[in-house]
Amino acid sequence: MPKILIVDDEKMIRNVVKEYAEFEGYETAEAENGMEAVEMCRKEDFDIIVMDIMMPRLDGYSAVKEIRKTKQIPVIMLSARGEEYDKLFGFEIGVDDYVVKPFSPKELLARIKAVLKRGASAEENKIEKIRFEGLEINVIGREVTIDGTPAQLTPKEYDLLFYLVKNKGIALSREKLLEEVWGYDFYGDDRTVDTHIKMLRSSLGDYRKFIVTLRGMGYKFDGGAAAQA
């Protein structure tokens, strides 16, 4: 049974998310600020975190950064602010999705399911490691190494890279990438994809060459023949 950590300084919000999540069969835990969430993550394991941004003691962004130092738990951010800048900043620090308040609890649960499903799909893949020249992808461990050195990819960069690799040689539109990598009815546009492609290319160094831009359409991964490591 997946366990969700619900982090929000508003008790009413926590109660609503908890009620819907438990109705769907999830186990839940609650924290009322970022500091409490960080401490709970140090002591317990969670399958996903629903994290508010504006909270006392420690804001959501800072809490995510602190949690990421020790654990790679998927995170969905909640915020009353819907500006694109805030969303892109959240993705840059490694959050998996972003929901703007006021939100539909049913939509939030659908997004939770989508994020958990994406994480599980990699673990179910029979190929443990795949290599393109000096670029090696550990599917099960969700790790990427470049010429033997670990690459510092955010969870979303990894999801994007793995989807491109899984569809190697196939032209993928920006709309398709938004649908498959970001999931259920993600509110975003072409710039979201382009920004993450830019970040991913930067993380891959010389092996950025494998991600090919298809002008006016999207991207594809062209790494030649792959080798199972």
Nearest C-alpha neighbor of 207 from the set 154, 164, 159, 156: 164
Last residue of a domain, one of 122, 140, 169: 122
pLDDT tens, the chain, 229 aa long: 789 999 999 999 999 999 999 999 999 999 999 999 999 999 999 999 999 999 988 999 999 999 988 888 999 999 877 666 777 777 778 788 888 888 999 999 998 988 887 766 555 555 578 899 999 998 777 889 999 999 989 888 998 999 999 888 899 999 888 888 887 455 556 788 899 999 999 999 999 999 999 988 899 999 876 666 5
Do 42 and 136 share a domain, yes or no? no
Same-domain check for residues 88 and 185: no
CATH number for the domain spanning 65: value is 3.40.50.2300
CA atoms within 13 A on the CB side of 162: 28
Residue 223 DSSP SS3: coil
83-111 burial string, b = 16+ CB within 10 Å, else e? eeebbbebbebbbbbbbeeebeeeebbeb
Same structural domain, 94 and 199? no
68 and 79 assigned to the same domain: yes
Same domain, yes or no, for 86 and 50? yes
pTM of the model: 0.59
Same domain assignment for residues 37 and 105: yes
Domain that holds residue 208: 125-228
Neighbouring CB atoms inside 10 A of 127's CB total: 14
Residues 118 and 129 reside in one and the same domain: no
Same domain, 13 and 79: yes
pLDDT of residue 96: 85
Q: How many other C-beta atoms are found inside a 10 Å radius of the C-beta of residue 226?
A: 16
CA dist 76 and 109 (Å) reads: 11
Q: Clarify whether residues 9 and 115 are in a common domain.
A: yes
- Strand 129-132, strand 149-150: pairing: unpaired
Last residue of a domain, one of 96, 122, 148: 122
Q: What gap in Å lies between CA 2 and CA 135, rounded to an integer?
A: 32
Closest to 2 (Cα-Cα) out of 32, 22, 17:
22
For residues 156-193, one letter each, b for 16 or more C-beta atoms within 10 angstroms of the residue's C-beta and e for the rest, the string is: bbbbbbbbbbbebeeebebebbbeebbbeebebeeebb
Q: What is the CATH number of the domain that holds 221?
A: 1.10.10.10
Are 8 and 57 a contacting pair, CB within 8 Å? Answer: no
Q: Which of 98, 122, 146 is the last residue of a domain?
A: 122
Do residue 142 and residue 181 come from a single domain? yes
pLDDT at residue 83 in the model: 65
Are residue 187 and residue 104 in the same domain, yes or no? no
Q: Are 4 and 47 in contact (CB under 8 A)?
A: yes
Domain count across the chain = 2
Question: Can you say whether the dihedral through the CA atoms of 151, 157, 158, 164 is positive or negative?
Answer: negative
Q: To the nearest 10°, report the CA torsion of 85, 88, 92, 98.
A: 120
Q: Is there a single domain that holds both residue 16 and residue 85?
A: yes
Residue 41 has a pLDDT of: 95
